[in-house]
Structure 1
Amino acid sequence: MTHPALRSGHTAIVTGAASGIGRAAALAFARLGMEVALIDLPGPMLGEAREAVAALGVKALALPADVGDRAALQAAASRIATELAPVSLVMNNAGRGESSSCLGDPGAFERTFAANLWGVIHGTQVFGALVSRGAIINTGSKQGITTPPGNPAYNVSKAAVKAFTEALAHELRTTRPEVSAHLLIPGWVHTGMTAASGAPKPAGAWTPEQTVDFLLQSLDRGDFYILCPDNDTPRSLDEQRMAWAMGDIIQNRPALSRWHPDWAESFKASLKS
């Protein structure tokens, strides 16, 4: 059974479409016969992605825009509504990651939230209004669930995307049941954001194409939480890590006890048991 959002002759809107998971998704939707609106920051990569999609024989529209700029997305939505087929799928995938510290530069939080969180909120509200029957997919992260130390701005933004998308799914169930919401939770994916430019793909990482294939299979099943494995991490290990993270609250352990010197060995032992 194919999800009703994946309809030939309809339009998919993809943010962060110039590279990585977004580009792979735009191409996959095009192979299904969908027209595609590709949204990303201006630059040659966006134009190249549009050409690759158009080469598959569908109409493709490249719309340079910063997803943190609501007015820019509203302008893009106006063009999509007049130049492309009816919209059945929105994928809010644009994101960024940069070094951050809880006690450091607040600008890192502002920039990260603008893309990772406000980009999802703006995209859901602006582009979601164009969807009469279909789906809204928001790209989260496992780091928004287990929140490992090292990059709090990214973790907080993705934790907020999880909470927002869960609330969205609940609202849609009661107000617009013909539109479903889904949270894509990628594993280790070899993209420009996770690896140095030109670096070879590590054996443990998935490609963006593998991630999108898993996304499409999960949509067909009607999954809300699209928790992707990778070549290093099976679902069972993700489940154990997530259960331990929730256990910090239930058992009143120290925050992020998995990385706490008094609890790290207990966590490792829990994996064996």
Structure 2
Amino acid sequence: MTQPTVPGRRVAIVTGAARGIGAATARRLARDGFAVAVLDLDEAACAETVAAVGKEGGRALAVGADVADADAVDAAVARVAGELGPPVVLVNNAGITRDNLLFRMDATDWDAVIGVHLRGAFLMSRAAQAYMTKAGWGRIVNLSSVSALGNRGQANYSAAKAGLQGLTKTLAVELGKFGVTANAVAPGFVVTEMTAATAERLGVPFEEFKAARAAATPVARVGHPEDIAHAVSFFASEEAGFVTGQVLYVAGGPRG
């Protein structure tokens, strides 16, 4: 059943929001006053994030969709518009890793990573911008990474994250006259299930892995999902209307 739009509350979509950075971002945007669509591949996996938003007095909707599937994306965004209201903030956070050295990486691993990160951001942005331009106000925030600068064993992931920076700058140029900004946040090392899996793949205890990363970071600590959510919150705000086409490295030290 279609639920009524929340009066006076802008709507945000966060992809890959079942856990990690996406979940923290969904919760932060809800605290900022947005109604939030928590989108992930498995709709059931979004329940924890939706419940957390609800406990904090916010409004959230779980949406299952493969961001690399054009029809699924269009249907998901239309559902959000119908059940929460027209989306005017989009956070493209969904991502996967398929790490390997170039000579061992097969084409399916390349395609999978490019598909979720880059094709997914393109499809979601294309679908959501129709509502933003009609409203005369919108915010697109893409999650890039320090890996966009190059990282051993991540040719696919690095290419996707660098591509997101180019996409961001082009969206800023094309959509600015409609009141829509586009920016990217590029995290450094952040404690998530994904980085824990990386440590496991390398055969390094996660606590040891985190300690090594903290020691190599100027602020002498690792990042947490909330660190990234704070940066996204700024880009999604009313006050960030004169900031567009930017890449902000949230990495505990200078990058770029």
- Both structures adopt the same fold (TM-score exceeding 0.5): yes
1:226 maps to 2:248? yes
Give the deviation of 1:128 after TM superposition.
Answer: 2.1
Matches within 5 A, 1:68-107: 68-103=68-103, 104-107=105-108
In structure 2, C-alpha distance between the alignment counterparts of 1:43 and 1:35, rounded to whole Å? 17
- 1:13-45 deviations in Å (ceiling 9; x for gaps): 000101111100100011122110011011643
Which residue in the other structure is 1:153 paired with?
Answer: 156
User: 2:147 is matched by which residue type in structure 1?
Assistant: Q
Point out 4+ residue stretches in structure 1 off by more than 6 angstroms. none
In structure 2, C-alpha distance between the alignment counterparts of 1:86 and 1:64, rounded to whole Å? 18
In structure 2, C-alpha distance between the alignment counterparts of 1:214 and 1:166, rounded to whole Å? 17
- 1:30-67 deviations in Å (ceiling 9; x for gaps): 11221100110116431111111122223211011111
Q: Is the 8 A contact 1:101 1:153 kept in 2?
A: no
SS of corresponding position for 1:130: helix
SS of corresponding position for 2:102: coil
In structure 2, C-alpha distance between the alignment counterparts of 1:127 and 1:199, rounded to whole Å? 37
TM-score, normalised with respect to structure 1: 0.76
Q: How many residues align?
A: 225
Which residue in the other structure is 1:127 paired with?
Answer: 128
SS of corresponding position for 1:129: helix
Matches within 5 A, 1:11-22: 11-22=11-22
Structure 1: which 5+ runs fail to align? Answer: 1-7, 243-273
Which residue in the other structure is 2:223 paired with?
Answer: 206
In structure 1, C-alpha distance between the alignment counterparts of 2:227 and 2:161, rounded to whole Å? 21
- 1:107-137 deviations in Å (ceiling 9; x for gaps): 1101101101111101110122222212111
* Higher Rg: 1
**How well do the aligned residues superpose, as a CA RMSD in angstroms?**
2.2
SS of corresponding position for 1:195: helix
Matches within 5 A, 1:234-249: 234-235=253-254, 238=255, 242=256
Give the deviation of 1:182 after TM superposition.
Answer: 0.5
Q: Is the 8 A contact 2:165 2:247 kept in 1?
A: no
User: 2:58 is matched by which residue type in structure 1?
Assistant: V
Change (3 A) 1:40 1:183: same
- Identical counterparts, % of pairs: 33
In structure 1, C-alpha distance between the alignment counterparts of 2:71 and 2:235, rounded to whole Å? 32
Structure 2: which 5+ runs fail to align? Answer: 1-7, 215-220
Structure with bigger helix share is 2
1:215 maps to 2:237? no
User: 2:145 is matched by which residue type in structure 1?
Assistant: S
Indicate the larger mover: 36-45 or 114-123: 36-45
Change (3 A) 1:187 1:120: same
TM-score, normalised with respect to structure 2: 0.81
Q: Which has the higher contact order (CA 8 A, sep 6+)?
A: 2
